[in-house]
Amino acid sequence: MNKYLVTLAAIAMAALTFLGSGFSAVAAQEKAVKLPAPTLDTPAAQANTATAVFAGGCFWGVQAVFQHTKGVLNAVSGYAGGDKSTASYDMIGSGRTGHAESVQVTYDPKQISYGKLLQIYFSVAHDPTTLNRQGPDSGTQYRSAVFYQGAEQKKITESYIAQLDAAKVFPGKIVTQLTPFTAFYPAEAYHQDYATLNPTQPYIARFDLPKIANLKTVMPEVYRDKPVLVSQAGKAV
């Protein structure tokens, strides 16, 4: 897939930056956009858990961002938007299965709201203004999409996109798709917790570690230093 086609020069630079200058220096390579909080959000929490599904390029980085978010109980990389029969890494790479690389976020609505998750998603997890592309990765499988679950998530997401577009916080118009959720298929085991387990992998160092650093810088109130991993799902956060 395209994430493996980063040039040798970029790989060398990323590796040297990470190894020689550390985490904070890598963060300087990619900027986040500081966004206002949504004017419309979920009401006071009643349930113990809730889920949201976001797509925004390679799922490694999106998963890592939410794993470092307070109130998140689990963040699983996977596929949404297509059929079960084609929900595999090898097949979705064609861009013809309808799937997007996605992350299913299970969270405690008493600790963090759906609107706050959206703020993180649009601010540091990806660039919502690029159509079918994030960084070096291109194709519909890398599209920006929110797979909303129910009328409330749809309404809050639509409202926030309109709010951000009206405020002109991005240089271009938001192209994020709003798609009704049908199913989520977890990705293969080797994709789970990938950024945490492979911090010196050149792609992670260049494109994903900056997202985690930006979360800490831009939204310190929700940042958690120790990520909640897929293998730790269900444990206290």
d(CA 188, CA 192): 7
217: tokens are: 């810088």
DSSP conformation letters of 35-83: -PPPSS---S--SS-EEEEEEES-HHHHHHHHHTBTTEEEEEEEEESS-
Instruction: Report which of 185, 194, 191 is spatially closest to residue 86, judged by C-alpha positions.
Output: 185
First to last CA, the chain: 34
Q: What is the pairing mode between strands 100-107 and 50-56?
A: antiparallel
Number of H helices, E strands in the chain: 9, 8
**Contact in structure between 143 and 134 (CB atoms under 8 Å):** no
Catalytic position from the list 35, 58, 118, 219? 58
Q: Is 41 a catalytic residue?
A: no
Catalytic (active-site) positions: 58
